[in-house]
């Protein structure tokens, strides 16, 4: 069972630069959705961030955007469809967030992501490996030209207006337990344990130093107004560490 009425079309988000696609997710008994981000680099090649299920229609649509050259599993919960993309694009380079190699030992990958951008997107996309977390890890990406921060689970923004946000179990957990319904916050796996708040704060402050105009999230509605203020609010707990 997937999220009802979910618009899963590939949509151009930043003209000529960034495309987004939603897909249904069933996790911990709840239905919601996740979002894949496609970034066209200056050389025309495409980076797939947090890969979604792939099918022939999507491959065909991507042909109009550019060759898929990079498959990125940016977080410790965002690697599920990497091998399907590797099968479709055998020449693509696979980049994973540290920890994914332990969660999925058989996964083929080329490089671990860290704080330094690799040469292939240096100067175009900045990145921070967020430290000081106990249960979940991710690498945050910042696309300079469009001033777009791309996150997986560091902020979730699910509420009344979110497509697929009507699942009762999700609503219960988000409202009653984590108090993050209609209020952007880190995923529960972050909220359940910051192992080193000072380290987390240092990572988050590095992200906040970027000139962020908008935030693309894996779960919930993207943030397009007052982005930095919303981020500071969402991260109030670790930032106070």
Enumerate binding residues for Fe ion (CB under 5 A). 77, 153, 218
CA–CA distance from 194 to each of 18, 77, 180, 186, 235 (Å)? 31, 17, 17, 11, 11
- When the beta carbons of 188 and 241 are compared against Fe ion, the nearer one is 188
Q: Which is nearer to Fe ion, 61 or 189 (CB)?
A: 189
Q: How far is the CB of 225 from Fe ion (least distance, A)?
A: 23
In this structure, the number of other CB atoms found within 10 A of the CB of residue 116 comes to 11
User: CA-CA distance, 79 to 76, in Å (whole number)?
Assistant: 7
Q: Nearer Cβ to Fe ion, position 218 or 222?
A: 218
- What is the Cα–Cα distance from 180 to 156, expressed in whole angstroms? 8
Q: Which residue is nearest to Fe ion (CB)?
A: 153
H-helix segments, the chain: 56-63, 82-88, 100-103, 168-172, 188-191, 197-208, 227-234, 236-239
- For the bound state, the minimum distance from the C-beta of residue 187 to Fe ion, rounded and expressed in Å, comes to 6
32 or 89: CB nearest Fe ion? 32
Residue 22 CB, nearest approach to Fe ion (Å): 13
Q: Which two tokens stand for residue 6?
A: 């979910």
Q: Take residue 195 and report the two structure tokens written for it.
A: 């192992």
77 or 141, CB closer to Fe ion?
77
> CB of residue 42 vs Fe ion: minimum separation in angstroms?
28
In the complex, the smallest distance separating the C-beta of residue 80 from Fe ion, rounded to whole angstroms, is 10
């Amino acid at each position: 069972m997937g999220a009802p009425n979910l618009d899963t079309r590939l949509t151009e988000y930043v003209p000529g630069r960034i495309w987004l696609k939603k897909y249904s997710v069933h996790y911990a008994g709840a239905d919601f959705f996740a979002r894949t981000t496609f970034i066209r680099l200056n050389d025309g090649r495409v980076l797939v961030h947090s890969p979604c299920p792939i099918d022939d229609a999507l491959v065909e649509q991507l042909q109009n955007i550019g060759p898929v050259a990079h498959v990125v599993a940016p977080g410790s919960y965002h690697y599920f469809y990497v091998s399907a993309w590797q099968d479709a694009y055998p020449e693509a380079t696979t980049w994973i967030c540290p920890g994914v190699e332990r969660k999925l030992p058989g996964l083929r990958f080329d490089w671990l992501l860290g704080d330094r951008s690799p040469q292939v997107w240096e100067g175009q996309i900045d990145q921070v490996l967020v430290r000081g977390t106990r249960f979940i890890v991710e690498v945050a990406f910042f696309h300079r030209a469009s001033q777009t921060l791309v996150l997986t689970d560091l902020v979730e923004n699910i509420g009344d207006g979110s497509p697929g946000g009507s699942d009762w179990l999700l609503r219960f957990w988000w409202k009653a337990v984590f108090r993050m319904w209609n209020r952007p916050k880190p995923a529960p796996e972050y909220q359940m344990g910051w192992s080193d708040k000072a380290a987390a704060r240092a990572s988050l402050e590095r992200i906040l130093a970027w000139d962020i105009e908008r935030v693309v999230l894996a779960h919930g509605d993207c943030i397009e107004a007052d982005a930095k203020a919303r981020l500071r609010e969402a991260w109030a707990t670790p930032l106070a560490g």
